[in-house]
Amino acid sequence: MDIEGFVRRAVAAGRGDDEIVGALTDEITTIKRRVSREYAGEFARAVVQEVRNTTGLTGDLFAYEPAGVGMGEFGVGSRGRGDFFAHRQFPRIIGKAAAAVGVDEMDDAGAVEAGGQYIITTVDGMHSRLSDFPFLAGFHVTRATLRDVYVMGARPVALLSDIHLADDGDVAKIFDYTAGIAVVAEAMGVPLVTGSTLRIGGDMVLGDRMTGCVGAVGVADHLTARTQTRPGDVLLMTAGAGGGTIATTALYFGYHEVVEETINLHFLRAAEALLKHPVLTHIHTMTDVTNGGLRGDVYEMAETADCRIVIDEENLRSLVEPRVLAMLDDLEIDYLGVSLDALLIVVPPEHAEAVMAVIRGAGVPIERIGHVEEGPAASVLISGGEEHDFQPRFRESAYTPVKKVVDTEPRDFDEMKERVRKAADAAAQKKRRVLARLQ
């Protein structure tokens, strides 16, 4: 529970201090059963005072221009059309940086040149629904961030961790989470070198919710960014059993035995084999099948490289781990719209067999699944001999019982996009104003 948010909403509604204190005292004593009502009342009154003292502030340092659109309402973080649109606003705020691969390219990681090589950095947030399963959260987020380094053609050299646990969370959670990180780190020989540990919201958030992220740094001589995708290239995809998303699906739908299938290092070892082989220099692009599933990643690749990508479904189902696929089919979850954690490779056709031989030599199945054509940015699917639209949905496939409930089309999407765009404009203008002051 966000205490400060609770009080700010109450103040905005015009409720009096005594009424707010009484209501908040009830909430605090319900969650924190060990505290006295007297202590909870003093705490509640202090929060009201803080909120009153910080309400109505104006100016660049204290206020922002609201979009009037909620994160969940717009699907931010849900790996669909709303999320992609929101992420494309960041380059407009950040500007054109002196980067070899910047945020405007919507790639898995960023890259800068240094000393004749490329330094790659990336960060991934843990899956929000794995808060009660800290080891799984740490394992899967670490594997995800290392994937993002590998798919840039880079060798990971260091990991960093940031973990936030709410005020009532058991301290053991941060240790179990770290153990999950350490398993992947040690298995892949990439040291965890630094990090941060904080409470979510400090004293302002009650409960035991956990969130965090793991970042990685890598070094590369040859980049495999999305902008390198070319007409005439073919797409190859490895087998995938999913990661945090599939584990979450299995947990919350009661397919607990399927979680075990996600505990592997197949992707990382396949990518490492490529990094050690000369064929790497012929690969144009690599990415992991995560953001909204294959639908989302192919769409983003087509947009970034400004080309038409055609996917053939013939080999796709065989590349999903059988128990994972059976679970998704049982639950009527579109396997093409959910993260599979497979490796997607774009390469000229004359080098495709060599790439597949390296991957198969690492013990990982791989097949050709599509090709790249000239034309306006678009992604299509060939299924049953017919061409189908392959656009991402508003959100990724609904993969938990709760997501099936909230998986509804939003209010006027174009209206929301305009509001979000204006909010990004306001943030960019503020950046320029503050920079001008500093200069």
pLDDT of residue 367: 97
- Closest by CA position to 390, among listed 284, 306, 300: 300
Q: What is the pLDDT at residue 226?
A: 79
* Judgement on whether residues 183 and 254 belong to the same structural domain of the protein: no
Q: Please indicate, yes or no, if residue 382 is contained in any of the structural domains.
A: yes
Question: Which residues neighbour 209 within 8 Å (Cβ) at sequence distance 6 or greater?
Answer: 131, 165, 166, 169, 200
* Same domain? 235 vs 338: yes
Last residue of some domain: 38, 53, 68? Answer: 53
Query: Cα–Cα–Cα angle for 134, 135, 141, nearest 5°?
Result: 85
Q: How many CB atoms lie within 10 A of CB 226?
A: 24
Locate 277 and state its tokens.
Answer: 């082989």
Is 207 among the domain residues?
yes
Question: Is 363 found in the same domain as 250?
Answer: yes
Q: What is the DSSP string of 89-110?
A: THHHHH---S-SB-GGG--SSE
The pLDDT value recorded for residue 394 is: 75
Tokens of 174: 């941060």
Is the same domain home to 229 and 369?
A: yes
Mean pLDDT of the chain: 93
Q: Which amino acid type is present at position 86? A: A
Reported as a single tens digit per residue, the pLDDT across 206-228 is: 999 999 999 999 999 988 877 78
Question: How far, CA to CA in Å, does 49 sit from each of 8, 45, 361?
Answer: 11, 6, 65
Rounded distance between C-alpha atoms, residue 381 and residue 295, angstroms: 9
Q: Do residue 385 and residue 263 come from a single domain?
A: yes
Alpha-carbon distance of 308 to 375, in angstroms, equals 5
Same domain as 345, residue 257: yes
Domain count of the chain? 3
Of 204, 223, 242, the residue at which a domain comes to its end is 223
Residue located via tokens 């040149």: 113
pLDDT of residue 79: 76
Q: Are 147 and 288 in contact (CB under 8 A)?
A: yes
Binning the chain into helix, strand and coil, the percentages to the nearest 5 are 50, 20, 30
Q: Using one digit for the tens of pLDDT, what is the confidence trace for 140-160?
A: 999 999 999 999 999 999 999
Q: Considering the domain boundaries, does residue 153 fall inside one?
A: yes
pTM of the model: 0.92
Decide which of 191, 223, 255 is a domain's last residue.
223
Which residue do the tokens 């969650």 mark? 31
**b/e burial code for range 110-128 (CB count within 10 A of at least 16 → b):** bbeeeeeebbbbbbbbbbe
**Residues 319 and 181 reside in one and the same domain:** no
On whether residue 7 sits in a domain, the answer given is yes
Does residue 87 belong to any structural domain of this protein?
A: no
Q: Which of 265, 246, 395 is nearest to 327 (CA)?
A: 246
Is position 197 within any domain?
Answer: yes
Identity of residue 259? V
- For 26, 91, 232, 378, the CA distances from 375, given in Å and listed in that order, are 61, 25, 12, 8
Strand, coil or helix: 106: coil
**What's the rounded Cα separation, in Å, for the pair 364 and 238?**
7
> Do 182 and 238 belong to one domain?
no
Same domain? For 341 and 370 the reply is: yes
List, for the chain, all residue ranges whose pLDDT scores fall below the cut of 50. Answer: none
Q: What is the pLDDT of residue 156?
A: 97
Convert the pLDDT of each residue in 83-138 to its tens digit: 888 988 998 898 877 787 877 766 678 889 988 899 999 999 999 999 999 999 99
Pairing of strands 308-312, 378-383: parallel
pLDDT value at residue 49: 97
**Whether 279 and 388 share a structural domain:** yes
Residues 199, 238, single domain; the answer is no
Burial 318-328 (b: 16+ CB within 10 A, else e): ebbbeebbebb
Q: Where do we find the tokens 């979450």?
A: 248
Please say whether the beta carbons of 152 and 120 come within 8 A.
yes
Q: What is the CATH number of the domain that holds 152?
A: 3.30.1330.10
Which range of residues forms the domain containing residue 389?
224-399
Which CATH number covers residue 318? 3.90.650.10
Phi-psi region of 236 (alpha: psi -120 to 50; beta: other; left: phi over 0): beta
Residues 242 and 383 in one domain: yes
In a domain, residue 425? The reply is no
Q: How far is CA 47 from the centre of its chain?
A: 33
Q: What is the CA radius of gyration of the chain?
A: 23
Distance from C-alpha of 306 to C-alpha of 372, rounded to nearest angstrom: 10
Domain-embedded: residue 94: no
